[in-house]
Amino acid sequence: SGPCCGNSVHRKIYIPLNHTAPCVRLLNATHQIGCQSSLSGDTGVIHVVEKKEDLEWALSTGPNPPYMILLDGNLFSRSVLMQLKGTSRISGLAVAAASPAPSQGFSPGLKCPNDGFGEQNSQFSPLFSPEFSHFIPIFLIFFLFFHFFSNFFSFFVHFLPFRPMFPQFLLVFFFPISSPGFPLVFPLFFPSFSSFFFFSPSLPIFLPFSLAFPNPWYVLPFPEIVCDPLLDYNVWSSLQPINASGRLQPSQQVVMAATRVDSHSFFWNVAPGAEAAVGSFVALLAAAQALQVAPGSQHLPRNVLFVFFQGETFDYIGSSRLVFDMEQDKFPLRLENIWAFLELGQVSLQNNSMLWMHTDPVSRRNQSVESQVQTLLKALNNSSSGSGVSLQEPGVSQPLPPSSFQRFLRSRSIPGVVLSDHRAAFHNRYFQSIYDTAENIGMRYPEGLSPEEQLEFVTDTAKALTQVATLLARALFSLAGGTTGSESIQADPRTVTRLLYGFLLNSNNSWFQSLIKPDQKGILGPFPQHYVAVSSPTNTTQLLQAVLGNLTGASVNLSREQCQSPGKAPGTQPEV
């Protein structure tokens, strides 16, 4: 007889569910959110819930508690979670993805995301506090997922990124299941979840980077890890070369074009972020490419800095780090070098090809800032002619929407505009959720196309974002001091459609493969996610840097060793 394997019985009893995503525990200096299991893990009789009445049976009359709820994604809501919280009859929750996405919308975001960390809050500008302007419609809010609230669940919540046939999904394993009116006694199907997290309340004291961020975030993703900070890198590039180790003179002016690259959801590392982030940073990438090849762009009086912020979901981590580095002379330019700030917010869900130009009503009280803001608005309006995009202003009393620009305004009054597809409330019904996918922004392909054909097919969404990129590139050219020729600048729809396909559907495509180093192949795969994480840099950051270098870079005479020397490649700025 051969040697006995000690876990053979375990393998016979348990069937692992692969490709699932947990709700994890996150903490900052004062609060915690998320979920975890008990110390030794949790088990329970699986109970299928397809309608609300099924849940009541498990909470009150079911004969075999505790129950592990398998919930139809259409029922996943704040009210349901509040029913489950605090009862000993429920040991865990598995949520199956709703398909199609819930028609009423679904968002775990606060009604004003990052409220309290931008410039417009009760401390900095009480008359224009976002509490008076709900950016996410109230009926869409499913869960106040923000650190001002200690919303923490002591049972585990797991996501199944597919919608199983209820209850046939379980029958394929030949296990009977429990349901109202059909309370089996034995044998019963007992799923098991184990994800208990340890943490120290004093972590923000002894982790050094907390000096830069008064409210750092920590994530506890796996039982083996005690605690890790959320971290990654901002990515930046300039139109004209900047000495990354030098400093600009105060007289040297820069136009900053920025956007965010991360999203978030209730579940760990499931954050497609199509409207929340991808559409915007794709448009900025295409604008950078168009401006780079524009005649005369290398000799404009002002430089243009393209910045892609990571970690903005959590209290503007990325922009906060850049502001800190500028103030501490740890970045090539300081805040006073920023002549104007242009930011792309959510721009993929336009109504009638319209974008809104949001400005800051607080800083505009200063006459000098107001004059420069008017110059910005004029340049944008002039650039919209022939671009296919129309622009409107929401009114000077409208508060600035959640944006990285707010974090800069806390430190200095800078003229700036945030472009978005919404006047007030977001058009995105799935903001920061698992359903903010390519489908949410209308990406459609003809049937029968191969993956390679889909990569090259220019969708209507790509055409619309190409127009946004064209508008932005022309405006940046004008703001940087260009006087003639901006009307000839045109973003490439082929680039935009490739970027959308790669960052939303499948990064393991022939174009992305050609942009990265051979040892980076592991970062490619289907359905990329844009969740800022504890591993750094994330796949999104690495791909973004490769794409940005390809679209805007120039061939240089460097050796292989120089190109591959860690930390010496310009264009990367550490975030934490």
| Pair (432, 523) in one structural domain | yes
Distance CA 76, CA 107 (A): 11
Q: Which of 78-82, 147-151, 199-203, 549-553 has the highest mean pLDDT?
A: 549-553
Q: Is residue 137 part of a domain?
A: no
> Is the model's pLDDT at 336 over the cut of 50?
yes
Burial class for 565, CB neighbours closer than 10 Å (0-12, 13-18, 19+): exposed
| Pair (164, 303) in one structural domain | no
DSSP 43-59: E-EEEEESSHHHHHHHH
Q: What is the pLDDT of residue 231?
A: 82
> Is the model's pLDDT at 205 over the cut of 60?
no
Q: What is the pLDDT of residue 120?
A: 59
Among 114, 131, 133, 124, residue whose Cα is nearest residue 363: 124
Q: Is residue 224 part of a domain?
A: no
| Pair (72, 150) in one structural domain | yes
> Is the model's pLDDT at 125 over the cut of 70?
no
Q: Is residue 575 part of a domain?
A: no
Q: What is the pLDDT of residue 112?
A: 80
Domain residue limits at 146 = 15-106+142-177+184-193
Q: What is the pLDDT of residue 402?
A: 92
How many folded domains does the chain comprise? 2
| Pair (173, 263) in one structural domain | no
pLDDT in tens, 84-100: 877 889 888 888 888 89
Q: What is the pLDDT of residue 398?
A: 85
Burial class for 217, CB neighbours closer than 10 Å (0-12, 13-18, 19+): buried
- For residues 32 and 551, which has the higher predicted lDDT (pLDDT)? 551
| Pair (242, 188) in one structural domain | no
| Pair (443, 527) in one structural domain | yes
- For residues 87 and 555, which has the higher predicted lDDT (pLDDT)? 87
Q: Is residue 228 part of a domain?
A: no
Among 522, 521, 530, residue whose Cα is nearest residue 503: 530
Q: Is residue 116 part of a domain?
A: no
Tokens of 371: 């004059």
> Is the model's pLDDT at 144 over the cut of 50?
no
Region 291-317 average pLDDT: 94
pLDDT in tens, 267-279: 888 899 999 999 9
Q: Is residue 124 part of a domain?
A: no
| Pair (424, 325) in one structural domain | yes
Where is 286: in which H helix or E strand?
helix 279-292
Q: What is the pLDDT of residue 14?
A: 62
Q: What is the pLDDT of residue 82?
A: 83
Distance CA 157, CA 36 (A): 8
Residue 366 to residues 295, 370, 372, 413, Cα–Cα distance (Å): 36, 6, 10, 9
- For residues 186 and 549, which has the higher predicted lDDT (pLDDT)? 549
Name the domain boundary from 132, 166, 193.
193
Burial class for 53, CB neighbours closer than 10 Å (0-12, 13-18, 19+): exposed
> Is the model's pLDDT at 411 over the cut of 50?
yes
- For residues 260 and 206, which has the higher predicted lDDT (pLDDT)? 260
- For residues 552 and 178, which has the higher predicted lDDT (pLDDT)? 552
pLDDT in tens, 318-333: 999 999 999 999 999 9
Distance CA 275, CA 280 (A): 7
| pTM confidence score | 0.84
Q: What is the pLDDT of residue 146?
A: 28
> Is the model's pLDDT at 208 over the cut of 70?
no
Instruction: Give me the CATH number covering residue 397.
Output: 3.40.630
| Pair (49, 101) in one structural domain | yes
Among 495, 539, 573, residue whose Cα is nearest residue 292: 495
> Is the model's pLDDT at 17 over the cut of 70?
no
| Pair (394, 281) in one structural domain | yes
Q: Is residue 1 part of a domain?
A: no
DSSP 218-279: EEE-STT---EE---EEEEEESS---TTS---TT--EEEEEEE--B--SSTT----IIIIIH
Average model confidence (pLDDT) for the chain?
80
> Is the model's pLDDT at 296 over the cut of 60?
yes
| Pair (286, 189) in one structural domain | no
Region 287-309 average pLDDT: 96
Tokens of 292: 């780079």
Q: What is the pLDDT of residue 214?
A: 32
Name the percent of the chain lying above pLDDT 70.
74
| Pair (336, 448) in one structural domain | yes
Q: What is the pLDDT of residue 204?
A: 34
> Is the model's pLDDT at 210 over the cut of 90?
no
- For residues 97 and 115, which has the higher predicted lDDT (pLDDT)? 97
Q: Is residue 471 part of a domain?
A: yes
| Pair (171, 38) in one structural domain | yes
pLDDT in tens, 440-497: 999 999 999 999 999 999 999 999 999 999 999 999 999 999 988 899 999 999 999 9
Name the domain boundary from 161, 193, 225.
193
Work out the pLDDT band at 164, boundaries 50, 70, 90.
very low
Helical spans, DSSP H, in 196-278: 203-206
Region 64-91 average pLDDT: 86
Q: What is the pLDDT of residue 500?
A: 98
> Is the model's pLDDT at 563 over the cut of 70?
no
Length of the chain measured in residues: 576
Region 388-402 average pLDDT: 90
Tokens of 41: 């893990």
Region 211-219 average pLDDT: 37
Strand partners, 107: 141
Residue 10 to residues 5, 13, 44, Cα–Cα distance (Å): 10, 5, 17
Peptide bond preceding 518 in cis form (omega within 30 of 0) = no
pLDDT in tens, 220-265: 444 444 567 788 899 999 999 988 778 898 899 999 999 999 998 8
